[in-house]
Amino acid sequence: MAEHVVVIGAGLYGASVTASLTRRGARVTVVDAAAPASGTSGATFSWTNSCGKQPRTYHDLCVAGMDAHRALAAGVPGADWYHEGGNLEWADDDGEREALRRKVEGVLDYGYEARWLDRAEVLRLEPDMDPAELPDDGIAHFPREGWIEPTRLIAHLLATVATGGAELVRDDAVTALDTAGGEVRAVRLASGRELRADAVVNCAGPQAGRIAELAGLDLPMRNVNGALIYTSPAPVWVSRVVHAPRVHLRPDGAGRLLLHTHESDDAVRVADTGETTVERSAVEEVLAAGRALYPGLAAVTVESVRVGERPIPSDGLPVLGRAPDLPNFHFAVSHSGATLSVHAGDLVAAEVLGEPHDDVLAPFRFERLAR
């Protein structure tokens, strides 16, 4: 059993892996170049779902991830980060309606909960929507989906591991990994500190490729930027995730809403200095679409716009578990971190400590991406 494990990254995956390792009796040091939840986990739509995930192994992993969130929240008195309000989705052109129909048929074949609603049924769920913005029927409802509040979940997980003896090192980037004899022996930090390690878990999100390179491994990534728009408190009833044709939205606490579209993602601009901005016209278009769907948003303003870099392995699927050529170096990296982190993090932690999960992790091994 690995006695001391260094976890790189204190986002959703890093906190989940650290919590599972600590619960299993390992001594853990989790390190982050900044503060916990300050990276991608702090700027994510955090939709928990397995809606249209392919192939079947990925779908099943996401369903298990949703179950893990449900179980964790149910076991913590006062848990306030998990919201299973469901998800509504519809389309406004023939091609997108056909794609949605195929998606619903596909998940129903997998035994996933989905149903079709008409306008009146949706308005009973979301009475503050403008009826004119809804089609007569053909609105998909996925009742077991929802969202999480990542910062609250990360705070809970790290609070529990602190009492179990885990150490959190923040604002100290990993600069080198010392390897010898086919294993990682130490993690070196920008401060000059050296952490001896029996095992290392790469939970570095968008920086996972760089951390892998420090270990002599090539992890191909195709990260993308995502723009999220946060409103001022809004006197409207929104209780679930909504994917309308021109705006995606969900509640974000204290009456605020979180808005997003793929078009706003495309409006992210990165300067030579590394500063990220989002074109103001794109933000206004998203806000206008939100106001059209919920007229009660007429007076809301944009409180903030956050840009998160989404970590996406080159084939779009998670990278989980040990590296065959460096067997004490492990990965927990994926695009669907909000859905997967609690469950997949536990699987990775178990493998770090010698409990194999080849039956689940085999399709997501690092070696499939070897070039």
pLDDT of 245 reads: 97
- What does the block give as tokens for 180? 């010898």
- Whether 80 shows a pLDDT value over 90: the answer reads yes
Kindly report the number of other CB atoms within 10 A of residue 270's CB atom: 12
pLDDT of 90 reads: 98
290 HSE (CA, 13 A, CB side): 33
102-115 residue pLDDT tens: 999 999 999 999 99
Beta bridge partners, 331, equal 202, 321
- What does the block give as tokens for 106? 């596909």
- Whether 158 shows a pLDDT value over 80: the answer reads yes
Report the alpha-carbon distance of residue 314 to residue 327 in Å, rounded: 22
Beta bridge partners, 229, equal 259, 305
pLDDT range class, residue 360, cuts 50, 70, 90: very high
Q: Tokens 């130490």 label which residue?
A: 186
Neighbouring residues of 79: CB distance < 8 A, sequence distance ≥ 6? 72, 73, 156
Beta bridge partners, 132, equal none
Report the alpha-carbon distance of residue 44 to residue 339 in Å, rounded: 11
Kindly report the number of other CB atoms within 10 A of residue 185's CB atom: 15
pLDDT of 162 reads: 87
pTM of the model: 0.96
Contact between residue 85 and residue 240 where contact means Cβ atoms under 8 Å apart: yes
214-244 residue pLDDT tens: 999 999 999 999 999 999 999 999 999 999 9
Could you tell me the domains of the chain?
4-64+150-222+314-369 (3.50.50.60), 87-143 (no CATH), 224-310 (3.30.9.10)
120-157 residue pLDDT tens: 999 999 999 999 999 999 999 999 999 999 999 999 99
Contact between residue 169 and residue 145 where contact means Cβ atoms under 8 Å apart: no
Report the alpha-carbon distance of residue 189 to residue 35 in Å, rounded: 15
Q: How much is the mean pLDDT over the chain?
A: 96
237-262 residue pLDDT tens: 999 999 999 999 999 989 999 999 99
